Amino acid sequence: MYQDLNQNRASSVNLKDQWNSVLKKLNTEYGNEIFNSWIKNISIRNLEEDVLYFTVPTRFIRDWITSHYLDKIIFFLNQENSQIKRVKINIDNSLTANMLNIDKDPSDQRKINNNTNNSNYIDDWPLDDRFKFDKFVVGPSNELAFASAKRFCSIDVNDFNPLYIYGGVGLGKTHLLHAIGWKLKEDNTANSVLYLSAERFMFQFIKSLRQKDTMSFKQKFRSVDVLILDDIQFMIGKVSTQEEFFHTFNSLLDMNKKVIISGDRSPSELGSFNERMKSRLSGGLVVDIMPADFNLRFSIIKNKYEELVKRNKNSLSLDEEVLSFLARTVTSNVRELEGALNKVYTFSNILGKKIDVELTKSVLKDLLKSNDRRITIDEIQKKVSSYYNIKLDDLISSRRIRTFARPRQVAMYLSKKLTTRSLPEIGRKFGGRDHTTVIHAVKKIDELKEHDSKFDEDVNLITQMITSI
């Protein structure tokens, strides 16, 4: 009996720790906004067999969390504690008071003070000071968006309004939006700047409905000089939030207030969005951000790295080669690239030594695997055979003549360098060759690259063709 109790106590302590690490992961996964708006509302209760019990303040929050975040929550929980297979969420009304107290936390107190002091900034969602214009690295894929964002800060609002920036995930939209907020705030050109995500907008809107206080909600949004709304695609399918935003948006435009919006798609692709809204969005300046090419990825990561070193006041602990490896392999988006850098950097600090490419590969095994999908051995084989103007079949065949053998070695070499496939796997993809053949190829190409600059250039060019997609 005693043992049982002790065990229970030990496991409940454990459970708290486990939940805390899940919370950390969720925060990283979804970012502060979603985390604070939704996930923070979860209280953990107890574990019974394989079911973990949660409580949240309202039915709405429960439904929302269930449909949007639950799979991930269970996945992370299961990583921490394999016993947990399911989650049940109950509603605890006593938590509502807590939730509604959000407005009374210290940062909001500051907001209220600011307002009474007639201060010029609604501190609704603090801007991140890493996201300023001078920290944004410009390349062909984002220069138009960058230039427009900068220009938007200084122009007369009649020139163009709103500014709409769109592009895929992790490409720098939020960074630019914050940068605009900072700039306007620093220049004192606007009395009040409000930045928030569409999700946050909805959260506040619903809160005002629940508190029967939509008047002050409307007033607050209509009284700003600049409204910056991030991730508008979040409103797709949320008709009443959209409708409310449309009114806010219209009245701001009518009052000549600057509005900046970001989305993951162009205005015309906003599905069931109100047509008038779409056309008003298209009527301003619409610019997109494309995925970064290798050179831009490399410059960004170099910059981020130098910042990290500066912030942590320690000496350099990564080779340039590692940075270039990361920029070459993590091609999905800048956010993942940055995540990879942080991980490697932390690891190197813990180890207290320099990290080389091999160690980087093992630290980032999982991440590289998912990015690996982008560069496949098939793709490498195709690019190499077309570069050397030989047939794909000949590249893979067992024919040993030089014209085929050398390109084959190049392709094996690149498969080793650019993917995380193992040597035997690579061997198999080249007509079932042995892994020692692959090792030999890698050595041979390394040697040739060192002694023959023309050859070295060729291989670098092919690498670029493959990686700069």
Q: Give which of ligand ADP, Mg ion, none residue 364 binds (C-beta under 5 to 8 Å, depending on kind).
A: none
Q: Which is nearer to Mg ion, 173 or 328 (CB)?
A: 173
CA-to-CA separations, 155 to 148, 152, 166, in angstroms, rounded: 10, 6, 21
Q: Give which of ligand ADP, Mg ion, none residue 263 binds (C-beta under 5 to 8 Å, depending on kind).
A: none
**Sites for Mg ion among residues 270-299 (CB under 5 A):** none
| Smallest gap from residue 307 Cβ to ligand ADP (A) | 10
Q: Give which of ligand ADP, Mg ion, none residue 142 binds (C-beta under 5 to 8 Å, depending on kind).
A: ligand ADP
The DSSP annotation for 337-352 comes to HHHHHHHHHHHHHHHT
Residue nearest to Mg ion (CB): 174
The answer to whether the CB of 16 falls within 8 A of the CB of 8 is no
Q: How far apart are CA 376 and CA 34, in angstroms?
A: 34
The radius of gyration of the chain's CA atoms, rounded to the nearest angstrom, is 27
Q: Which is nearer to ligand ADP, 334 or 459 (CB)?
A: 334
Tokens 């091999």 locate to 358
| Smallest gap from residue 429 Cβ to ligand ADP (A) | 33
Of 56, 91, 83, 87, the residue nearest 72 (C-alpha): 87
| Smallest gap from residue 370 Cβ to ligand ADP (A) | 17
What tokens does 78 get?
A: 């299961």
Helix (H, G, I), strand (E, B) or coil at 319: coil
Return the half-sphere exposure (C-beta side, CA atoms, 13 A cut-off) of residue 13.
5
Output DSSP code: residue 267: G
Q: Which is nearer to ligand ADP, 175 or 417 (CB)?
A: 175
Q: Which is nearer to ligand ADP, 66 or 295 (CB)?
A: 295
Q: Which is nearer to ligand ADP, 134 or 156 (CB)?
A: 134
| Smallest gap from residue 219 Cβ to ligand ADP (A) | 29
Q: How far apart are CA 128 and CA 182, in angstroms?
A: 9
Q: Which is nearer to ligand ADP, 104 or 311 (CB)?
A: 311
Q: Which is nearer to Mg ion, 19 or 38 (CB)?
A: 38
Query: Residue 297 contacts by C-beta under 8 Å, 6 or more apart in sequence?
Result: 327, 330, 331, 334, 337
Q: Give which of ligand ADP, Mg ion, none residue 136 binds (C-beta under 5 to 8 Å, depending on kind).
A: ligand ADP
Query: Residue 258 contacts by C-beta under 8 Å, 6 or more apart in sequence?
Result: 152, 157, 161, 162, 163, 184, 190, 225, 226, 227
The answer to whether the CB of 462 falls within 8 A of the CB of 387 is yes
Residue nearest to ligand ADP (CB): 172
Q: Which is nearer to Mg ion, 342 or 376 (CB)?
A: 342
| Smallest gap from residue 299 Cβ to Mg ion (A) | 20
Which residues of 264-344 form beta strands (DSSP E)? Answer: 285-289
Q: Which is nearer to Mg ion, 205 or 234 (CB)?
A: 234
Interaction of residue 420 with Mg ion, rule CB under 5 A? no
| Smallest gap from residue 226 Cβ to ligand ADP (A) | 18
Q: Which is nearer to ligand ADP, 38 or 146 (CB)?
A: 146
| Smallest gap from residue 200 Cβ to ligand ADP (A) | 14
Q: Give which of ligand ADP, Mg ion, none residue 383 binds (C-beta under 5 to 8 Å, depending on kind).
A: none
Residue type, 202: M
**Sites for Mg ion among residues 114-173 (CB under 5 A):** 173
Interaction of residue 197 with Mg ion, rule CB under 5 A? no
| Smallest gap from residue 430 Cβ to ligand ADP (A) | 37
Interaction of residue 174 with Mg ion, rule CB under 5 A? yes
| Smallest gap from residue 412 Cβ to Mg ion (A) | 39
Return the half-sphere exposure (C-beta side, CA atoms, 13 A cut-off) of residue 397.
12
Q: Give which of Mg ion, ligand ADP, none residue 172 binds (C-beta under 5 to 8 Å, depending on kind).
A: ligand ADP
Bridge partner list, 289: 167
Helix axes of 453-467 and 402-418: crossing angle, nearest 10 degrees = 50
Q: Give which of ligand ADP, Mg ion, none residue 335 binds (C-beta under 5 to 8 Å, depending on kind).
A: ligand ADP
Exposure string of 362-378, with b = 16+ CB inside 10 Å and e = fewer, is ebbeebbeebbebbbbe
Which residues would be at the binding site for ligand ADP (CB under 6 A)?
Answer: 131, 135-137, 142, 167, 169-175, 300, 334-335, 338
Q: Give which of ligand ADP, Mg ion, none residue 316 binds (C-beta under 5 to 8 Å, depending on kind).
A: none
| Smallest gap from residue 281 Cβ to Mg ion (A) | 17
Q: How far apart are CA 384 and CA 351, in angstroms?
A: 38
| Smallest gap from residue 263 Cβ to ligand ADP (A) | 10
Q: Residue 124: phi, psi to the nearest 5?
A: -75, -45
Could you list the residues that contact Mg ion (CB under 5 A)? 173-174
